[in-house]
């Protein structure tokens, strides 16, 4: 039996979603080891979104079954109204599973995605949106120039080849500092990065007084809600595998995959930038230990051991 009328019926308006939804997927199973600074990195990422996004947006965070301190941190930020949509998953459904949920639920016409270790610089959103406005049939834009496998951007290259001379350029346009910044953050050694830099080439497009590099990356991108509805749901089988299915789908549908020509986003990794990343160099003893553990045989054994321990804890948690 109902007594009286629901007072909510007297409300005549509801909040409307922003035109842009920024989505972040997060997974920090424990604090320590590889994840020692991950909570601080997550806060650093979110703070850069709040401070450096240059137009109204809604923030959606999908937490993929992190440890209690991280969930409490996110709940506190939600209660401060810094996160508009917070999803706390009872189990880890993988990055693709989180994509399927977020991309289906996000209400913005444009949806931006970022891993939880990305730093956004001022102007990132405006620079990305400008490419959607200047180029036709854009599918996704990443906010920094980088070299990605050509096979996932064949539709973009084909479009460029069909344009008048001068629209598509091939050469080495990416500067070493921008290339090395990203390579270092993803664990590349200097020598290997230098070899890749010298041996690679870039594809650049000039159209409607705008420039863009060919290619895009799934650690950060901006896309259309309408396009996502044509792609999701994607198969989700492993926690951190399968992202290429998104790249493949965008390419097969004939959409352009682009990056900005200036670096507006930066991959942080699992350590905060600045002094915190330099502590390992504080003494000669630590430098010696670091050289020893990076010897090929020792390094591979330690990485294998770390992987086995993580799998043991991860599967037990499941």
Question: Both 160 and 298 in a single domain?
Answer: no
The position carrying tokens 């499941």 is: 318
HSE, side-chain direction, 13 A CA sphere, residue 252: 8
- Quick check: 277 pLDDT over 60? no
Residue 216 lies in a domain: yes
The CA-atom distances, in angstroms, between 286 and each of 153, 271, 281, 291, 297 are 43, 17, 6, 9, 19
Question: Both 34 and 106 in a single domain?
Answer: yes
Question: Both 196 and 232 in a single domain?
Answer: yes
Domain that holds residue 155: 20-267
Question: Both 232 and 297 in a single domain?
Answer: no
CA 54 to CA 123: how far, in whole Å? 6
Question: Both 36 and 131 in a single domain?
Answer: yes
- Quick check: 287 pLDDT over 90? no
Question: Both 142 and 72 in a single domain?
Answer: yes
Q: Dihedral, CA atoms, 61, 231, 208, 214, nearest 10 degrees?
A: 90
Residue 7 lies in a domain: no
Q: How many domains does the chain have?
A: 2
- Quick check: 90 pLDDT over 70? yes
Q: How do residues 300-309 score in pLDDT, each as one tens digit?
A: 666 667 666 6
Question: Both 185 and 308 in a single domain?
Answer: no
The pLDDT, as a whole number, for residue 280 is: 35
Residue 137 lies in a domain: yes
User: What is residue 255's DSSP assignment?
Assistant: -
Question: Both 224 and 249 in a single domain?
Answer: yes
Question: Both 168 and 304 in a single domain?
Answer: no
Question: Both 239 and 300 in a single domain?
Answer: no
* Mean pLDDT confidence for 215-243: 89
The pLDDT, as a whole number, for residue 2 is: 72
The pLDDT, as a whole number, for residue 14 is: 75
Question: Both 311 and 201 in a single domain?
Answer: no
Q: In the chain, pLDDT over 70 holds for what percent of residues?
A: 84
CA 199 to CA 204: how far, in whole Å? 17
Contact 48, 120 (CB under 8 A): yes
Task: Spell out the residues 6+ positions from residue 162 whose beta carbon is closer than 8 angstroms to its own.
Answer: none
């Amino acid at each position: 039996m109902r007594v009286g009328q629901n007072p909510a019926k007297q409300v005549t308006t509801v909040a409307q979603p922003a035109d842009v939804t920024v989505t972040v997927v997060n997974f920090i199973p424990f604090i320590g080891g590889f994840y020692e600074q991950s909570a601080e990195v997550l806060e650093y990422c979110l703070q850069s979104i709040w401070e450096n996004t240059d137009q109204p947006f809604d923030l959606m965070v999908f937490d993929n079954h992190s440890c209690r301190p991280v969930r409490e941190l996110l709940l506190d930020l939600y209660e401060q109204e810094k996160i508009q949509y917070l999803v706390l998953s009872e189990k880890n459904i993988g990055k693709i599973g989180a994509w399927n949920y977020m991309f289906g639920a996000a209400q913005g016409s444009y949806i931006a995605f970022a891993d939880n270790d990305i730093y956004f610089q001022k102007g990132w959103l405006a620079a990305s949106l400008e490419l959607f406005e200047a180029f036709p049939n854009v599918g996704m834009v990443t906010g920094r120039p980088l070299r990605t496998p050509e096979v996932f951007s064949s539709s973009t290259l084909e479009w460029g080849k069909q344009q008048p001379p001068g629209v598509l350029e091939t050469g080495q346009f990416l500067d070493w500092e921008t290339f090395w910044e990203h390579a270092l953050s993803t664990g590349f050694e200097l020598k290997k990065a230098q070899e890749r830099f010298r041996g690679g080439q870039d594809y650049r497009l000039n159209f409607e007084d705008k420039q863009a590099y060919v290619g895009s990356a799934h650690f950060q991108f901006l896309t259309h809600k309408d396009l996502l509805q044509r792609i999701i749901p994607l198969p989700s089988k492993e926690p951190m595998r399968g992202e290429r299915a998104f790249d493949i789908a965008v390419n097969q549908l004939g959409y352009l995959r682009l990056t900005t020509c200036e670096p507006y986003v930066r991959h942080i990794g699992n350590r905060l930038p600045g002094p915190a990343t330099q502590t390992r160099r504080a003494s000669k003893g630590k430098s010696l230990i670091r050289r020893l553990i990076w010897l090929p045989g020792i390094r591979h054994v330690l990485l294998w051991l770390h992987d086995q321990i993580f799998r043991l804890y991860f599967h037990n948690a499941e």
